[in-house]
Chain A
Amino acid sequence: MTATLAVEQQRVRRTRTTTPKRIPTTRIVAVEMRKMFDTRSGFWLMAGIGILATLATGAVILFAPDSELTYETFATAIGFPMAVILPMVGILSVTSEWTQRTGLSTFTMVPHRGRVIGAKAIVALVVAVTSMLLAAGIGAIGNVVGTAITGTDLVWNVSVAELAGIILGNTLGMAVGFMLGVLIRNSPGAIVAYFVYSLLLPTITTLLAQSQDWFADRQAWLDFNYAQGPLFEGSVNGEQWAQLGVTAFFWLVLPLAFGLVAIRRSEVK
């Protein structure tokens, strides 16, 4: 009798009185941010941002001639590793769900792939901007320390607008990595594609521009990499912003949209 009662009570326990609430986007973003750091490879990739920025700063102090110990030299030196590592962070944040097959859990806990990818995009953006600010800070410290060691004058020859341009440029680089991750959904494949996109493609377009006048005339309107150039050179005029927008639409936004549609329809195995 008591056994029957116990069973009955347990049955009641399973009947929920409140319906669960929809998982808020802030929580998905927080979880995706956590997933950036919670593996050894992820942690060192993120730590690598700070480590490489410090190494680049150290190299400038050691090897750059005293006359060139200016903030611009530091910013340029730090920018190079950032331009490589940030796109990798963007790629892996998406592709690991497929390559490591964690998507099976992720997309059953949140059965709306668009929300998960959106949260990853927010996290990637936050990481990109934070990393660039961190790198800029490390460069600034390097500038102060370096000039103090050599006894040369402290030169701050990078304006806030120029710095913002560099941050935007590197964020776009990460966005390209993110886009390729969404489109290809495989870590090695997307990384190879990124190097084709960022190293091989500019070589081809440069050769094309040298040999074909019609292309040289229109390159800024057709070539995304080329259109990003002004961001790193300090000043961007209205026409250049338009060129950046047009090329970004065709080389970044459109393939990203295509990849998102494919992700929502694809099978997660």
Chain B
Amino acid sequence: MITVDALTKTYGGFTAVDDISFTARSGRVTGFLGPNGAGKSTTMRIMVGLTPATSGSASISGRAFADLPNPGLEVGVLLDASAQHAGRTGREILTIAQRTMGLPRRRVDEMLERVSLTPSEADRRVRNYSLGMRQRLGIAAALIGDPEVLILDEPANGLDPAGIRWMRDLLRDFARDGGTVLLSSHLLHEIEVIADDIVVIGNGRIVAHGTKSELLAASGALVRAADPAALARALEVAGATSTPYDGGALRTDAEPALVGRVALNAGVPLLELRAADGAGLEEMFLELTADTQREGAAA
């Protein structure tokens, strides 16, 4: 279990992480979602003691990271797969981890096999690795101590679709076995397919937090009508708000059943009506990223 309590990090006048609190529970995959520069990586670096917090604290299974006697046996960490000496071989990097943690030598080969790096790939220098291979090596280094907790920053970056599927299964199995997984991503879809719990962060603050089913719950409906304006008026009379959505459709906070009844009473023919699964989260996420993305200005 990972507990983050009122964590704040400021750089001069800039607040990178602003009073963040959340818990990543064991047996679950917690997705840490936010646009680039939202404070995800800073938060993760603070968790593992690489960056000092300005205030607040983070603990792993109830203890500060620096108090873990042999952290690799309790927490697997992958913050940046490219942060390795380019002149070392993949096997050597795992051997350093194996030696530092005091593990039997066979763990190196076991881990290489677990992440599907062949012996000849393992003997190549990391300089010649693709980003996907570096991610696999990083996962191997994180898993080598058989930890109970995984902290992974953007682990799916650079993986091909098959690799992403492999990673998803691996992390799911890890959580099913009772482990705690915290992984970050700036891609909503990536988090959606893998996480049980989601923490959304924007500009250093938590903007949403809950289980995936809560956050993606059918909050309202998406409806397409021949006369959207008439339907919008009818919905307003019925006490529901609606906003135009993606090419003539409406997004409303009313449930599909209510929308159907309102449309029938108003005599507006419907072209499409469905529950707005995840649309709320997606909209919130787009809003968050709009400030930082140049495309937002044109849209």
Q: Which residue of A lies closest to B66 (CB)?
A: A111
Q: CA separation between A31 and B51, bound complex, in Å?
A: 24
B97 contacts partner chain A, Cβ-Cβ < 8 Å: yes
Closest chain-B Cβ to A22's Cβ sits at a distance in Å of 4
Partner of A20, one of B73, B97, B141: B73
Partner of A14, one of B68, B79, B100, B179: B179
Given contacts A10-B178, A41-B87, A31 and B96 within 8 Å (CB-CB): yes
Q: Which residues of A contact B176 (CB under 8 A)?
A: 7, 10
* Chain A positions 86 through 110: 1 when the CB is less than 8 Å from some CB of chain B, otherwise 0: 0000000000100011111101111
Contact at B177–A27, with CB atoms within 8 Å? no
Contact at B88–A39, with CB atoms within 8 Å? yes
Given contacts A31-B100, A96-B85, A19 and B69 within 8 Å (CB-CB): yes
Q: Which residue of A lies closest to B80 (CB)?
A: A104
Contact at B178–A11, with CB atoms within 8 Å? yes
Partner of A22, one of B69, B92, B96: B69
Q: CA separation between A23 and B87, bound complex, in Å?
A: 26
Closest chain-A Cβ to B11's Cβ sits at a distance in Å of 9
Q: CA separation between A248 and B97, bound complex, in Å?
A: 36
Contact at B99–A34, with CB atoms within 8 Å? yes
Q: Which residues of B contact A267 (CB under 8 A)?
A: 45, 50-52
Q: Which residues of A contact B101 (CB under 8 A)?
A: 23, 109
Give residues 222-251 of A contacting B (CB, 8 Å): none
Q: CA separation between A19 and B96, bound complex, in Å?
A: 22
Contact at B72–A109, with CB atoms within 8 Å? yes
Q: CA separation between A38 and B96, bound complex, in Å?
A: 10
Closest chain-A Cβ to B281's Cβ sits at a distance in Å of 29
Question: How many residues from A make CB contacts under 8 Å with B?
Answer: 40
Give residues 45-84 of B contacting A (CB, 8 Å): 45, 48-52, 65-66, 68-74, 77, 79-80, 82-84
What is the number of contacts between chain A and chain B, taking CB atoms within 8 Å? 111
Contact at B178–A27, with CB atoms within 8 Å? no
Q: CA separation between A14 and B72, bound complex, in Å?
A: 15
Q: Which residues of A contact B45 (CB under 8 A)?
A: 267-269
Give residues 81-137 of B contacting A (CB, 8 Å): 82-88, 92-93, 95-97, 99-102, 125
Q: Which residue of B lies closest to A268 (CB)?
A: B50
Contact at B178–A107, with CB atoms within 8 Å? no
Contact at A27–B148, with CB atoms within 8 Å? no
Q: CA separation between A38 and B123, bound complex, in Å?
A: 12
Q: CA separation between A161 and B70, bound complex, in Å?
A: 44
Q: Which residue of B lies closest to A12 (CB)?
A: B178
A218 contacts partner chain B, Cβ-Cβ < 8 Å: no
Partner of B65, one of A30, A111, A265: A111
Q: Which residues of B contact A108 (CB under 8 A)?
A: 48-50, 65, 71-72, 77, 79
Contact at B87–A107, with CB atoms within 8 Å? no
Q: Which residues of B contact A21 (CB under 8 A)?
A: 69-70
Q: Which residue of A lies closest to B42 (CB)?
A: A267
Contact at B52–A265, with CB atoms within 8 Å? yes
Known: A101-B80, A108-B72; 5 extra A-B contacts, CB below 8 A, are A23-B101, A34-B96, A100-B84, A104-B83, A110-B100
Name 27 A/B residue pairs within 8 A (Cβ), A-sorted: A13-B178, A14-B178, A16-B148, A20-B68, A20-B74, A23-B100, A23-B102, A34-B96, A38-B88, A38-B92, A39-B88, A41-B87, A100-B83, A100-B84, A100-B85, A101-B80, A101-B82, A101-B83, A104-B50, A104-B83, A105-B96, A107-B49, A108-B77, A109-B97, A110-B71, A267-B45, A267-B52
